[in-house]
Chains A and B, each alone.
Chain A
Amino acid sequence: MHMTVLKTIIHLVSLGLLVLTFYQAINDQLGADPVEALLHFTGIGAFNLLLLSLLVSPLAKFSKQIVFIRIRRLLGLYAFFYGLSHFVSYIIFELQLEWTLLLSEIIKRPYITVGFAALLILTALTITSTQSIQRKMGRTWQKLHNWVYVAGLLVALHFIWSVKSNLIEPLIYWLILTLLLATRTNKLKLFYRRRFSKNPPNKK
Chain B
Amino acid sequence: MLIKHPKKSDSKENQVTDESIYKDRRRLLKSLGFIGAGSLLSTTPSHALNLFGSDESQTFQTKALKFTQPKPYQIKEKLTPEQKVISHNNFYEFGTSKSDPIANAQEFKVDPWSLTIEGLVEKPITLGYEDLFSKFDLEERIYRMRCVEAWSMVIPWIGFSLANIIKQAKPMSTAKYVAFETLHDPDQMPGQRSRFSGGGIDYPYVEGLRLDEAMHHLTLMSVGLYGKTLPAQNGAPIRLVVPWKYGFKSIKSIVKIRLTDKMPPTTWNLLARREYGFYANVNPQVDHPRWSQASERRITSGGLLTRNRIPTQMFNGYEEVASLYSGMDLTKLY
Report which A residues bind B (CB closer than 8 A).
22, 25-36, 38, 93-96, 98, 101, 104-105, 108-109, 111, 161-162, 164-168
Whether a CB of chain A sits under 8 angstroms from the CB of B99 is yes
Given A29-B303, A33-B98, A94-B297, 14 extra CB contacts under 8 A: A25-B304, A27-B303, A30-B304, A32-B84, A32-B85, A32-B87, A32-B88, A36-B98, A95-B309, A96-B309, A105-B291, A111-B290, A161-B290, A162-B290
Task: Tell me the minimal C-beta distance from B276 to chain A in angstroms.
Answer: 10
Contact indicator B98/A25 (Cβ below 8 Å):
no
For residue A104, which residues in chain B have a CB less than 8 angstroms away from its CB? Answer: 292
Q: List 19 A-B contacts (CB under 8 A).
A: A26-B304, A26-B305, A27-B303, A28-B304, A32-B83, A32-B88, A33-B84, A33-B98, A33-B151, A34-B303, A34-B304, A36-B151, A93-B304, A96-B309, A101-B292, A101-B294, A101-B295, A165-B201, A166-B96
Task: Tell me the minimal C-beta distance from A185 to chain B in angstroms.
Answer: 30
Question: For the complex, what is the distance from the CA of A38 to the CA of B37, rounded to whole Å?
Answer: 19
CB-based nearest A residue for B289? A109
Contact indicator A27/B272 (Cβ below 8 Å):
no
| B: number of interface residues (CB 8 Å) | 36
Contact indicator A105/B307 (Cβ below 8 Å):
no
Question: For the complex, what is the distance from the CA of A105 to the CA of B289, rounded to whole Å?
Answer: 11
Q: A101-B292, A166-B199 are in contact. Are A26 and B303 (CB under 8 A)?
A: yes
CB-based nearest A residue for B84? A32
For residue A35, which residues in chain B have a CB less than 8 angstroms away from its CB? Answer: 297, 304
Contact indicator A168/B196 (Cβ below 8 Å):
yes
For residue B149, which residues in chain A have a CB less than 8 angstroms away from its CB? Answer: 164
Contact indicator A31/B297 (Cβ below 8 Å):
no
CB 8 Å contact bits of B284-306 with A (1 = contact, 0 = none): 00010011101101010111110
For residue B201, which residues in chain A have a CB less than 8 angstroms away from its CB? Answer: 165
Residue from the set A95, A104, A165 with the largest chain B CB neighbour count within 10 Å:
A165
Task: Tell me the minimal C-beta distance from B289 to chain A in angstroms.
Answer: 8
| Interchain CB contact (< 8 A) of A105 among B84, B292, B304, B305 | B292
Question: For the complex, what is the distance from the CA of A35 to the CA of B304, rounded to whole Å?
Answer: 6
Classify the secondary structure of B's interface with A.
loop
Task: Tell me the minimal C-beta distance from A116 to chain B in angstroms.
Answer: 14
For residue B28, which residues in chain A have a CB less than 8 angstroms away from its CB? Answer: none
Contact indicator B291/A98 (Cβ below 8 Å):
no
Question: For the complex, what is the distance from the CA of A165 to the CA of B307, rounded to whole Å?
Answer: 29
Interface residues of B in 254-305 (CB under 8 A from A): 271-272, 287, 290-292, 294-295, 297, 299, 301-305
Whether a CB of chain A sits under 8 angstroms from the CB of B38 is no
Question: For the complex, what is the distance from the CA of A45 to the CA of B189, rounded to whole Å?
Answer: 30
Contact indicator B309/A165 (Cβ below 8 Å):
no
Whether a CB of chain A sits under 8 angstroms from the CB of B33 is yes
CB-based nearest A residue for B294? A101
Question: For the complex, what is the distance from the CA of A22 to the CA of B99, rounded to whole Å?
Answer: 19
Question: For the complex, what is the distance from the CA of A30 to the CA of B149, rounded to whole Å?
Answer: 18
Q: A36-B151, A165-B271 are in contact. Are A27 and B290 (CB under 8 A)?
A: no
Residue from the set B83, B85, B305 with the largest chain A CB neighbour count within 10 Å:
B305
Question: For the complex, what is the distance from the CA of A15 to the CA of B191, rounded to whole Å?
Answer: 35
Whether a CB of chain A sits under 8 angstroms from the CB of B128 is no
Task: Tell me the minimal C-beta distance from B189 to chain A in angstroms.
Answer: 15
Whether a CB of chain A sits under 8 angstroms from the CB of B317 is no
For residue B303, which residues in chain A have a CB less than 8 angstroms away from its CB? Answer: 25-30, 34
Task: Tell me the minimal C-beta distance from B203 to chain A in angstroms.
Answer: 13
Task: Tell me the minimal C-beta distance from A96 to chain B in angstroms.
Answer: 4
Task: Tell me the minimal C-beta distance from B127 to chain A in angstroms.
Answer: 31
Q: A33-B88, A33-B299, A96-B309 are in contact. Are A22 and B304 (CB under 8 A)?
A: yes
CB-based nearest A residue for B304? A25
For residue B309, which residues in chain A have a CB less than 8 angstroms away from its CB? Answer: 95-96, 98
Question: For the complex, what is the distance from the CA of A36 to the CA of B89, rounded to whole Å?
Answer: 13
For residue B204, which residues in chain A have a CB less than 8 angstroms away from its CB? Answer: none
Interface residues of B in 233-267 (CB under 8 A from A): none
CB-based nearest A residue for B87? A32
Whether a CB of chain A sits under 8 angstroms from the CB of B186 is no
Q: A101-B295, A164-B199 are in contact. Are A32 and B304 (CB under 8 A)?
A: no
For residue B291, which residues in chain A have a CB less than 8 angstroms away from its CB? Answer: 105, 109
For residue B304, which residues in chain A have a CB less than 8 angstroms away from its CB? Answer: 22, 25-26, 28, 30, 34-35, 38, 93
Interface residues of B in 180-217 (CB under 8 A from A): 196, 199-201
Residue from the set B33, B295, B303 with the largest chain A CB neighbour count within 10 Å:
B303
Task: Tell me the minimal C-beta distance from B166 to chain A in angstroms.
Answer: 31
| Interchain CB contact (< 8 A) of A32 among B37, B199, B299 | B299
